[in-house]
């Protein structure tokens, strides 16, 4: 079996060595999901610093182009605690965010691409000098959005919510600032594995409006999500939802060790 990180020319030829970066082509697209599913994918280069093969691509459909992040399954490094197929967990996180009406995860689809099946996620044109710690300190008006991401991570059992996985889109063109949550592949383990930088809201009450959306998950996880996961992982979502509804507060970390590494 070839190692896609070392000996597969299909991966090597897309390594990003362009010091000047890539010019993003960003058109106004009415339906991101349809665009991602039906568009032609053009690889621009490999994203630096990613442990798995992750590519910046442009997706073109009907004369419109928008960047996206493509994660082919064959580029995943083997993990002892997650089965291959992290791309399915990326989609499950997006669908869970939508089910809860949080809208924090960029539109995500599964499809074939130039390097095989993988997830393709809408690229957020954010201020990439900002991350969770700077957003929390400088933007108290966005704390409710951060709380929603924290709740999503509790339910999804996110094992790797780094600070840099929270992206700030500044206000502009009449739209308020917003926060997006990316890199959600290490989620949904049946064992409790929550590791996150978002602990500032620990012990605070979870808003009733959010708990009303969580409550149905105690009994049924939508098929669109459950079909992507193992049975015990689906049952674990129900258990975490039940915990939230019963406790009605964000969890705390009394150990001080439930942080990912590196933090950013």
| Domain residue extents for the chain | 9-247
pLDDT at 5 exceeding the cut of 90: no
HEC string for 10-29: HHHCCCCCCCCCCCCCCCCC
List, in order, residues 6 or more apart from 160 with CB less than 8 Å away.
Answer: 183, 185, 186, 195, 260
Per-residue model confidence as pLDDT tens digits over 211-234: 999 999 999 999 999 999 999 999
pLDDT reported for residue 49:
81
pLDDT reported for residue 181:
98
HEC string for 105-153: CCCEEEEEECCEEEEEEECCCCECCCCHHHHHHHCHHHHHHHHHHHHHH
What is the band of 10 on the pLDDT scale with cuts at 50, 70, 90? Answer: low
pLDDT at 44 exceeding the cut of 60: yes
Global pTM value: 0.93
Residue 168, strand partner residues: 127, 179
Helix (H) or strand (E) holding 118: strand 116-122
pLDDT at 252 exceeding the cut of 90: yes
| Segment 17-44 mean pLDDT | 88
Q: Which of 47-51, 94-98, 156-160 has the lowest mean pLDDT?
A: 47-51
Is-contact 237 155, C-beta < 8 A?
yes
Per-residue model confidence as pLDDT tens digits over 60-101: 999 999 999 999 999 999 999 999 999 999 999 999 999 999
Helix (H) or strand (E) holding 179: strand 178-181
HEC string for 43-108: EEEECCCCCCCCEEEEEEECCEEEEEEEEEHHHCCCCCCCCCCHHHHHHHHHHHHHHCCCCCCCCE
- Tallying the residues shown for the chain, one arrives at 264
**Helix, strand, or coil here: 121?**
strand
Tokens of 164: 């840099």
Phi, psi of 100 (to 5 degrees): -85, 0
Average pLDDT, the chain: 93
């Amino acid at each position: 079996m070839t190692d896609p990180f070392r000996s597969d020319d299909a991966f090597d030829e897309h390594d990003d060595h362009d010091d000047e970066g890539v010019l993003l082509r960003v058109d106004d697209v009415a339906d991101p999901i349809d665009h991602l599913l039906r568009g032609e994918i053009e690889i621009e280069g490999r994203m630096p610093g990613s442990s798995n093969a992750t590519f910046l691509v442009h997706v073109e459909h009907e004369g419109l182009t928008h960047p996206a992040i493509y994660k082919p399954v064959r580029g995943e490094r083997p993990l002892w605690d997650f089965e291959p197929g992290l791309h399915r967990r990326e989609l499950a996180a997006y669908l869970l965010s939508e089910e809860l009406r949080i809208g924090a995860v960029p539109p995500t689809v599964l499809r074939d691409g130039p390097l095989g099946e993988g997830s393709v996620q809408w690229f957020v044109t954010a201020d990439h000098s900002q991350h969770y710690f700077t957003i929390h300190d400088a933007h108290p008006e966005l704390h409710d959005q951060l709380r929603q991401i924290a709740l999503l991570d509790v339910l999804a059992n996110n094992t790797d919510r780094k600070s840099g996985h929270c992206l700030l889109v500044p206000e502009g063109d009449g739209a308020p600032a917003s926060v997006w949550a990316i890199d959600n592949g290490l989620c949904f383990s049946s064992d409790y594995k929550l590791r996150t930088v978002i602990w500032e809201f620990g012990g605070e009450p979870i808003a009733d409006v959010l708990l009303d959306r969580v409550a149905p998950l105690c009994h049924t996880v939508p098929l669109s999500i459950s079909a992507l996961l193992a049975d015990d992982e689906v049952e674990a979502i129900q258990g975490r939802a039940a915990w939230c509804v019963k406790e009605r507060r964000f969890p705390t970390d009394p150990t001080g060790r439930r942080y990912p590494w590196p933090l950013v």
